[in-house]
Structure 1
């Protein structure tokens, strides 16, 4: 006989699960008891909020290429788990949430915390499944891992009533086995139909200015090496979306920069405009990438090819000349083989693009030496980049850091990763995410970037970092407001003192972090930041740097649509300090 809880834990072990992130509650006590009985096999990481547990699992999955697993008790625990599940699913990150629900006999009888969580999670998962017999637990776990890791990866939700974990089951009534292929992703990657790869090679041969666009799918399929190999073999420039960053080293002559609206590089957007063939690799071509589907401008002579694991993404918002349904890594590998005897493209356009790039960075140089107080983001980002001498995992919130980090951060190696959750733009991601990143790759330095609006949403996880002795460096951009929203209000013509319900107390976050036990600094000048960051990188434990910076709403950030609305030229290669 085996308890349902032991069956569950053994199945998770079979799938190589090493960490489960979660929060204890009334209904998940049997799961915790089973984990304790098998201590040493799976580490249960107690978080201070279910939302944080989900963000840890999300970051763990993005970096480890394994499934991120987290759990929650019934009722409020399940409801708090919704945001990270939605983010992971929309970002094609394989995450499994297990909610331990009220016992089945209480179903429909007004039991406290009863909630139809299957329906709650259906819109934001690939599957939301309830287990109604303990014998089915192994089958449900196999199905969850298979669904999460195959095709377009995504989130899966499993509901396990508490009594299923407490039930005893004869060993012969179930099979304890897993699928080796579904321990990581992409599982069972698919290849395109015959002739498609050759057709794309022909398009590239006939193009004068082909451009590769690496999206988040290139990262999900682990296609960095294949992308670089094909780009170098055919001498084709590469631009990336925000989620496609890290696919190419920023200092590579073929890595032109970030496209789109938020934190874009003007020379990268110019490459999109000048190209006569766009090859999207794992990008759904959303509103940020296409600047509201207005960029690049309409050109009937420009051809579009798109490669994506999800056939539903193909030609969804683009008029494709060629659509290839397949895993980006496999398709790139096949392209390299198919094009091995084909002539690489010439250097003239690449030299032109790199000329644009050189002009941009030379023009930005004065911004990096600006000592105006409060500090502006550009010199902070430059000092930050210069200190990244070893591979690092950087987790950023989707708020204040985004436009300046994506524009000015430069990583020159192929082993560093820069992650921003871009599906829903929720704040509160970075602080818990550093824990998941550290557990995924403990040998790498891990850094979290966020604004003070985000800090107040996840401050409780500072205790988790201290309890685990997670050696992460947290950097807060402290500007005393919801900067992005305040900037939007300024875009509507409001004055600084006319903005509404966006300002809050500029708290001493360093003192708060220090009270939790983190090594902390509160800095106001560039020299103070440099000294603090140098010390943090050497410190064996969690660190917190509270940087007092200018509000994002003081100057127009590097956002294409904002610059255009205010009459500036968003494709100007001159990085100016432009007030609202």
Structure 2
């Protein structure tokens, strides 16, 4: 890849693409996914020579989805690449997911030769203009000698503050040209290998005010979002909750902020909930932790109701006041902020814990009552299979260290409501940054690469799976161990269910699919395929999949009734029959 100059042993002559690859290696970069083209060939050749793990994938959107899931599970920087034009623009949807979810990514894209730009070069577009709003920062390389500097910046921006995707746009001529670099050019700060690279503490006076409010609260509650996981603060939050007896509710991305099986876990809040919305309604002080309080989490901005005292802890100051006006703003890292709150409470924490014992004891009692009320759905023997029964069996089979990836649409909502993490940490990986369907398969690939040895299940709908199933070939080629569970209702289920709710029975259009046997599709890709039509077969199929080497697809035939396709009342719907509720 590089040769030492005879004039100076410290000089390394290499292409721009080789310099990029060398910088990725310097940061300990993990697997990289992309689909090559002339503009990025030097990067690929350097990856080959350096032994960097690089894998062909069938769609650049999927490449970024893989990188996103890898980053969410590992905390390390996810890597993807694309060539000019359609390769670059195919990344847009997945970049938006990573940007909104706070996933640290570095994506290298090739661009046109600068001497010929704007002369209708093949595949030329204003890709920089298209990509810029979909990433945390877009870095355009205009000088080959600056590649190491700008790659250092890419990793630094990706891993600091709220993490996010950084796109490095490299013109063809700079990717192919050579330059005499020095060894010193490739020295990096290892702090930027993973997020959060840097941590900052909230203002001490604000922490003291927040501690006073919590110490005097009659019925406080914590609302935990995905920022808990970005900070690696799940154990810190769990310790805080147990030390104070303050219940914790979570968003879809915040699941696992404390174990779902913990007695203090109030479960999901917002559009769909078990008991959390009721607890929030009765609360007087709300501690929002690493949560943006978006539409779904707030049930279209109605939860919490006005009049609550709100303390908001977040690394992004711009989130303060966007949805609720906080009494106290704690601007800083979630993990450090929770530790500081605990320290500020001091001896008052024990008194608070004793005073809140009745509240704490009410949480598991309410949860048990909820489970009893919905047990008919959780353990349903109906055919086609109830999705609630499917999630119940996943809860039974997936071990404590297991990971459940959830595709967009109702897969994420069903799993967000009913799946139970058994320990603190990121055991649930939904694509709720942008909620695009098609995440299930590439998300499983990324999770399996990030956590080898941990069981990985992925829940996806048949419509979302059809978008990406070509990358079953990728999964088989890499011989990855994971299971994709296809919720097969022969429909774009969420759309069909919403049409049913809003317009009435039978009033749906462009929502039905042909019946597909995805077990046979999996077998055609040299993967294991299992088809399940009976609820009693679910547990055995899931256990068989976990014991099978290589990718497994379980095709589960679920209800075709649009009245039963959603896990509860969608807050946007005007009318819903009371009997259709599970939450």
Same fold (TM over 0.5): yes
| Residue pairs, 1:131-210, within 5 angstroms | 131-172=141-182, 175-210=185-220
Q: Corresponding residue for 1:533?
A: 542
Per the alignment, do residues 38 and 162 of structure 1 end up closer, same or farther by CA in structure 2, a change over 3 Å counting? same
SS of structure 2 residue aligned to 1:475: strand
Matching of residues 258-297 of structure 1 within 5 Å: 258-262=268-272, 264-265=273-274, 267-297=275-305
* Selected match of 2:518 from 509, 522, 534: 509
SS in 1 for 2:167: strand
In the TM superposition, what are the counterparts of 1:223-302 in structure 2 within 5 Å? 223-262=233-272, 264-265=273-274, 267-298=275-306, 300=307, 302=308
* Partner secondary structure for residue 492 of structure 1: helix
Query: What value does the CA root-mean-square deviation take over the aligned residues?
Result: 1.8
- 1:349 and 1:552, CA in 2 relative to 1: closer, same or farther beyond 3 A? farther
SS in 2 for 1:287: coil
Q: 1:307 aligns with which of 307, 313, 330?
A: 313
- In the alignment, is the contact (CA less than 8 A) between 1:22 and 1:53 conserved in 2? yes
Deviation of 1:340 after TM superposition, in Å, equals 2.6
8 Å CA contact 1:118–1:129 kept in 2: the answer is: no
Q: Alpha-carbon deviation of 1:162?
A: 2.2
Q: Helix, strand or coil for the counterpart of 1:337?
A: helix
User: Within the alignment, does 1:463 sit opposite 2:477 as a pair?
Assistant: no
Q: Distance in 1 between matches of 2:525 and 2:176?
A: 37
Q: 1:26 is matched with which residue?
A: 38
Contact 1:229 1:336 in 2 (8 A): no
Summarize deviations over 1:294-313 as a string: whole Å, max 9, x none: 12333x3x211101100000
Unaligned runs of 5+ in 2: 1-12
Take 1:269 and 1:472, find their aligned partners in 2: how far apart are those partners? Answer: 34
Deviation by residue 1:383-429 (Cα, 9 ceiling, x = unmatched): 11101224112111012322322222122223561011112221110
TM-score, reference length from structure 2: 0.94
* Contact map agreement 1:85 1:125 (CA 8 A) in 2: yes
1: CA distance, partners of 2:528 / 2:195: 36
Between stretches 468-477 and 556-565, larger displacement belongs to: 556-565
- CA shift for structure 1 position 270: 0.7
Contact 1:90 1:124 in 2 (8 A): no
For the Cα contact (< 8 Å) 1:135–1:173, is it kept in 2? no
| 1:368 aligned partner | 378
1:336 aligned to which of 337, 342, 351: 342
TM-superposed CA distance for 1:115, in Å, is 2.0
| Displacement after TM superposition at 1:212 (Å) | 0.9
SS for the counterpart of 1:520 is strand
1:577 Cα deviation from its structure 2 partner: 4.4
Paired residues, number: 566
Q: Is the 8 A contact 1:135 1:174 kept in 2?
A: no
Q: Is the 8 A contact 2:257 2:426 kept in 1?
A: no
Q: Secondary structure at the match of 1:27?
A: helix
CA distance in 2, matches of 1:537, 1:7: 41
Q: What corresponds to 2:89 in structure 1?
A: 79
Point out the more displaced range, 513-522 or 558-567.
558-567
- What TM-score results when the alignment is normalised by the length of structure 1? 0.94
Comparing 233-242 with 408-417, greater Cα deviation is found at: 408-417
CA contact (8 A) 1:56 1:432 kept: yes
Structure 1 match to 2:452: 442
From the superposition, tell whether residues 214 and 562 of structure 1 become closer, same or farther in structure 2 (CA, over 3 Å): closer
CA deviations on 1:306-344 (whole Å, 9 max, x unpaired) are 011000001111021111111111101111222231122
Q: CA deviation at 1:485?
A: 0.6
Say whether the 8 Å CA contact 1:127–1:147 is kept in structure 2.
yes
Q: Does the residue aligned with 2:221 lie in a helix, a strand or coil?
A: strand
Q: Report how far residue 221 of structure 1 moved.
A: 0.6
Tell me the SS of whatever aligns to 1:105: coil
Secondary structure of residue in 1 paired with 2:388: helix
Question: How far apart in 1 are the matches of 2:412 and 2:181?
Answer: 52
Larger mean CA deviation between 117-126 and 459-468 belongs to 117-126
Which sits farther off after the overlay, 362-371 or 331-340?
A: 362-371
Kindly indicate whether the alpha-carbon contact (under 8 Å) linking 1:136 and 1:174 is maintained by their aligned counterparts in 2.
no
Gaps of 5+ in 1: 570-575
2:323 to 293, 317, 320: 317
1:36 alignment partner in structure 2? 48
